[in-house]
C-alpha cells in the first residue's frame, strides 16, 4: 500500500525521538547520581577535616601551657614566632586516621615531602623562615579547606610531591615505625635504648656513675676540682661506649638512625663511635620510671596550620 500521507515516516521519526528522549533521560539520571556521589564525598571531606581540626586544636591547647611557661616574655616589637603543636605518636595516629578518610573528586589533595623549605608554598614561608628544620618538611593541603605543615621525626631523604584523590599517609606511618637507637646523655646518668617503632624499647641500658657537681668558687681549688670532674666524665663516657658497642653488635643491621639528646659535651665524645645517621633532638631528661615517654619525643611530629 502506498503511504500517501507519510505515516510510516512519521512513526519512524516518533520512534527516533522516543529513543533519543530515553537516552537523554538515562544520561540525566547518571549525572544526578554523579552529583549525589560528589556531594557525599564533599560532606565526608568536610567532616573529616572538622574532626582533624578538633583533634589538632586539642593538642595545641594541651601544648600551649608548657610552651608559655618555657618561653621568656618578649617585647611587642619582637618578630612573631609561629606556634606549633607537638604531637605524640598516639595523637598523630588519630589525625592520620581522619586524614585517611579525606577524599577529593577533583584529585587535588597535595602531599609534599621536602628536604628543605625551598619547595614550600608562599603562604607557609612565614613558618619555615622562623622555624628551622634539619629534618625537612611535610605539607598536606586540601585546597580551600586547610594546609598542615609538619616537621617529621626523621630526615626526609629526597623531595617529592603528589596530588590525588587522597593524601599519601603511608610515609608518615612508616616514620613512626622506624628502628632507632636513642641516647639521652647526661653527666653520670646516660640512657641507651633500641626501639623498632613508637610503642616500646626492645632493649635499654642505664649507665650511672659518680660525677662531681660543677664548682663555682674560683681559684686553684676550682681548677683541681674541674680536673677531677673531667676525669669522672671521661670514665662515664668510657662506660657508655662499652654499652654502645654491645648494642651496635646486636642491632647495627636493623637500626636506621641514632637519636641523640642531652649534654652536648658528652654527646660530642660519643658521636664518633655511633656509625649511624645522627638526628639531634632536644630531649627531656629521661626518667627511669617513665622511660617510654622518651618515645613520644623521638617519634613525635610538630604541626603548624597555615
Q: Output the DSSP codes for the chain.
A: ---TT-HHHHHHHHHHHHHHHHHHHHHHHHHHHHHHHHHHHHHHHHHHHHHHHHHHHHHHHHHHHHHHHHS----TTSPP----EEE-HHHHHHHHHHHHT---TT--EEEEEESSGGGS-GGGHHHHHHS--TT-EEEEEETTTEEEEEE-SS--SS-EEEEESS---HHHHHHTT--EEEEEE-TTEEEEEEESSSS-EEEEEEEE---PPP--S-HHHHHHHHHHHHHHHHHHHHHHHHHHHHHHHHHTTT--EEEEEE-HHHHHHHGGGT-S-EEE--PPPP-GGGTTHHHHHHS-EEEEE-
* CATH 3.30.960 domain span(s) along the chain: 45-67+81-176
Residue 154 confidence (pLDDT) above 70: yes
Average pLDDT over residues 263-282: 94
pTM of the model: 0.71
pLDDT at 73: 45
pLDDT at 210: 83
Q: Cα(15)–Cα(21) distance, rounded to whole angstroms?
A: 10
* CATH 3.30.420.60 domain span(s) along the chain: 180-288
Residue 217 confidence (pLDDT) above 60: no
What is the pLDDT confidence band of residue 59, given thresholds at 50, 70 and 90?
Answer: low
* Torsion sign (Cα): 264, 268, 274, 276: positive
pLDDT at 69: 45
Q: Cα(219)–Cα(1) distance, rounded to whole angstroms?
A: 133
Residue 75 confidence (pLDDT) above 50: no
What is the pLDDT confidence band of residue 228, given thresholds at 50, 70 and 90?
Answer: confident
Confirm or reject CATH 3.30.420.60 for domain 180-288, answering yes or no: yes
Q: Regarding beta strands 278-280 and 257-262, do their DSSP bridges make them parallel or antiparallel, or are they unpaired?
A: parallel
pLDDT at 47: 67
Contacts of 105 (CB under 8 A, 6+ apart): 37, 38, 41, 42, 165
Average pLDDT over residues 71-89: 63
Residue 226 confidence (pLDDT) above 70: yes
Residue 122 confidence (pLDDT) above 80: no
Residue 68 confidence (pLDDT) above 90: no
The candidate with the shortest Cα–Cα distance to 142, out of 40, 48, 37, 38, is 48
What is the pLDDT confidence band of residue 218, given thresholds at 50, 70 and 90?
Answer: low
Q: Taking a C-beta distance cutoff of 8 angstroms, is the pair 142, 109 a contact?
A: yes
pLDDT at 173: 96
Higher pLDDT, 279 or 216: 279
pLDDT at 3: 56
Where residue 218 falls (left for φ over 0; alpha for ψ -120 to 50; beta otherwise) is left
Neighbours of 177 (CB within 10 A): 13
Q: Cα(49)–Cα(144) distance, rounded to whole angstroms?
A: 11
Which three cell numbers mark 58? 586539642
Higher pLDDT, 205 or 117: 205
Higher pLDDT, 99 or 229: 99
Considering the four listed CATH numbers 1.10.10, 1.10.1060, 2.60.40, 3.30.960, the one that applies to the domain covering 45-67+81-176 is 3.30.960
pLDDT at 78: 44
Residue 194 confidence (pLDDT) above 80: yes
pLDDT at 60: 63
Q: Taking a C-beta distance cutoff of 8 angstroms, is the pair 236, 212 a contact?
A: no
The pair phi, psi for residue 274, each rounded to 5°, is -75, -45
Q: Which residues pair with 298 in a beta bridge?
A: none
The candidate with the shortest Cα–Cα distance to 148, out of 68, 78, 60, is 60
| pLDDT tens digit sequence for 13-38 | 778 888 888 888 888 888 888 877 77
Amino acid at each position: 500500500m502506498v503511504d500517501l500521507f507519510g505515516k510510516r515516516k512519521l512513526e519512524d521519526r516518533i520512534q527516533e525521538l522516543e529513543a533519543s528522549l530515553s537516552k537523554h533521560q538515562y544520561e540525566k539520571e547518571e549525572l544526578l547520581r554523579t552529583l549525589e556521589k560528589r556531594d557525599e564525598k564533599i560532606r565526608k571531606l568536610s567532616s573529616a577535616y572538622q574532626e582533624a581540626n578538633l583533634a589538632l586544636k586539642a593538642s595545641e591547647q594541651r601544648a600551649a601551657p608548657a610552651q608559655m611557661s618555657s618561653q621568656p616574655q618578649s617585647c611587642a616589637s619582637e618578630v612573631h614566632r609561629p606556634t606549633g603543636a607537638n604531637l605524640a605518636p598516639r595523637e598523630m595516629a588519630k589525625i592520620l586516621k581522619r586524614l585517611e578518610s579525606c577524599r577529593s573528586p577533583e584529585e587535588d589533595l597535595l602531599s609534599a615531602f621536602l628536604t628543605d623549605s625551598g619547595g614550600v608554598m608562599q603562604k607557609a614561608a612565614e613558618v619555615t623562615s622562623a622555624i628551622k628544620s634539619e629534618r625537612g618538611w611535610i605539607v598536606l593541603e586540601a585546597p580551600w579547606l586547610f594546609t598542615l605543615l609538619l616537621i617529621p621525626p626523621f630526615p626526609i631523604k629526597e623531595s617529592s610531591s603528589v596530588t590525588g584523590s587522597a593524601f599519601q599517609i603511608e610515609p608518615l606511618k612508616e616514620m613512626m615505625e622506624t628502628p632507632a637507637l636513642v641516647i639521652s646523655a647526661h653527666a653520670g646518668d646516660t640512657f641507651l635504648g633500641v626501639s623498632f617503632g613508637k610503642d616500646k624499647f626492645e632493649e635499654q641500658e642505664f649507665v650511672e656513675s659518680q660525677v662531681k657537681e660543677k664548682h663555682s668558687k674560683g681559684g686553684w681549688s676550682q681548677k683541681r676540682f674541674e680536673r677531677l670532674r673531667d676525669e669522672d666524665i671521661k670514665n662515664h663516657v668510657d662506660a657508655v661506649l662499652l654499652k654502645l658497642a654491645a648494642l651496635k653488635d646486636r642491632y647495627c643491621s636493623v637500626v636506621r638512625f641514632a637519636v641523640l639528646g642531652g649534654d652536648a659535651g658528652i654527646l660530642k665524645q660519643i658521636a664518633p663511635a655511633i656509625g649511624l645517621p645522627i638526628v639531634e633532638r632536644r630531649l627531656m631528661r629521661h626518667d627511669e620510671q617513665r622511660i617510654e615517654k622518651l618515645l613520644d619525643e623521638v617519634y613525635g611530629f610538630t604541626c603548624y596550620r597555615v
